[in-house]
Structure 1
């Protein structure tokens, strides 16, 4: 693998998996799979076999990941096993603070494996270390809030910023701020106030799960950086759900110099694959099709990257044939090169586009 390539993955549900299933990502993905199957864990049944493990980050040269703070509303609870849920903003705050505490304890317990990157200076220094020094290296983690119900009042935002939170997605499902995946709706007055307060504090806005109506208004309203950490083009996925980005929202992100992270989940890549079907029906060419769609619309490779959403409700059974763990993401390079992507383009897609956003 070309050592010039570093990967920056814009979406991983690490604390959610650790606190829900007891997954310890310092182990290899293969060790976690073995343990879960031997012990009868429910994790493979409801979330698939893991794609993540620290050795595999090293093999794939995954230098940085956005690590989520995420919980589902009670109405979307997956089952008795689903412990990371909330019914009120107060409960959401407790759950999200518990996940924050997990990241803090975990990185303190394993400083050679994981490192919280709390500001842009830390991001730049960490990337430079991976570029210039022989590994292994800690994987850098940047905190992302997915669904903002944990923000009880706008006065909470400075505290979250002090903890290292860099980026907020106002919705997963619908929230009091705006509509979300499967629950359409525009920005509310509270949502507009949230965006104004976020911009004043320098937060990055994540459109990924916002309903299309809300995303369109946010593109006009928000003064700060705007991205979609993990969302695929609707025109390529050919699915009607509001989980995908229509062309006008993509164009709005391009106009704002944003970046879009492609999710290599088979159901988000093609219109005719559903969970339970053979993973081999989808290849990395489908991922490349989504990358290329955005690059062609932009006229360059500056605005598209990766946001895997590993292990966010799916596992190895539900990703393209060539992916067994996160270590396999660099296999995209050959396919991109065949389409005429240069070395600089591939570096941009793999990591430098996200670096531009988070090192600023």
Structure 2
């Protein structure tokens, strides 16, 4: 049996699903389960590594929003969730960080928590999945930033200052269509301090969800590559979550990365959460990202377990089909290898130094 092409994924929300699962966590992680990810399917698909997001969901007394319904008939403009207090966010973030460590202890031969590119490459060589701790929205870090040192010691190597709600550090773009990333303010003074300390510690700053103003401020403050871990081309799907030509050019010039987001409402030109999204739509985004960001600066950023996927992908086992579609589209083996993993590893080497 031919081994699948190994790939590195720039973003997933498996930790949130693991934390909220009604089934025992061993069943959710070690056995084939509901959702997009689990250890058996990741190994089957060639999932060689990725950024695992610590994401504290909005406080709610009821079920989570049905984004497929809310985004079914554009235009739409969903209200931004309210800011999440630090005291409420930090315990949840610590629980999710602990779950990532538990995943490695529960399957030591198959999964490793990695803090450097040499560790990632060593895990891949041993056919173990390389997990990197990421934080999506920095509410768990107080403005004094002391907790950033603690999370860094626990393995945090990538951080998005905001999700689609305001934080002490800046502002996120709304879930709206159509719209431009230039939706409001950027970083706060505490956010600028956060960027500087992330640079000092070698923590990658993720610009997905950031407003246009925040993107520009990070670019001015940071000397690191500019990275949007899970975003698409605004020229094809005009969502505020997607990247403008200017932003893509800045990512290329700074040696950064953009990860193709599989979320259908950031892929479809109509902005709909349509599971019937075609390979053609995904490849249009990839072609555009390659043209404007460059072949060394594009990879995958699936948003597994956090979005409505195209049915053609379905879950992590659909990634090999996407790679096959790339080959049928005319991408050669060298380019597919770069898109699948090597571009991400090269960028992480540049960021983590």
Task: Give the structure-1-normalised TM-score.
Answer: 0.82
Q: Secondary structure at the match of 1:11?
A: strand
After the TM superposition, which residues 39-188 of structure 1 pair with which residues of structure 2 at under 5 Å, given as runs? Answer: 50-74=35-59, 77=60, 79=62, 87-130=84-127, 138-152=128-142, 153-172=144-163, 173-182=165-174, 184-188=184-188
C-alpha separation in 1, matches of 2:84 and 2:322: 41
- Unmatched runs of 5 consecutive residues or more in structure 1: 34-49, 131-137
In the alignment, which residue of structure 2 is the partner of 1:261?
259
Distance 1:128 1:296, change over 3 A: same
Distance 2:202 2:111 in 1: 25
Q: Could you tell me whether the CA contact under 8 Å between 2:169 and 2:192 is conserved in 1?
A: yes
For the residues of structure 2 that align with 1:268 and 1:150, how far apart are their CA atoms?
Answer: 27
> What per-residue deviation string (whole Å, max 9, x for no partner) do you get for residues 7-42 of structure 1?
1011111221111234613222xxx24xxxxxxxxx
Q: 1 CA distance for matches of 2:92 and 2:244? A: 32
Q: Distance in 2 between matches of 1:204 and 1:170?
A: 11
Deviation at 1:161, TM superposition (A): 1.4
Which sits farther off after the overlay, 252-261 or 97-106? 97-106
1:27 maps to 31
Any stretches of 5+ residues in structure 2 without a counterpart?
66-81, 175-182
Secondary structure at 1:112 match in 2:
coil
| Higher percent of residues as helix | 1
Aligned match of 1:219: 219
Q: Which TM-score applies when normalising by structure 2?
A: 0.84
- Alignment match, 1:231: 231
Distance 1:88 1:273, change over 3 A: closer
| 3-state SS of paired residue (2:40) | helix
Aligned-CA RMSD value: 2.3
Rounded Cα–Cα distance in structure 2 between residues aligned with 1:180 and 1:246: 16
Deviations 1:138-160 (CA, angstroms, capped at 9, x unpaired): 32210001101111122222222
* Structure 1 residue 72: Cα displacement: 3.0
Report Cα offsets for 1:232-288 as digits up to 9, x if no partner: 11111133xx2111111111111111110011122111133634x5x23x1122111
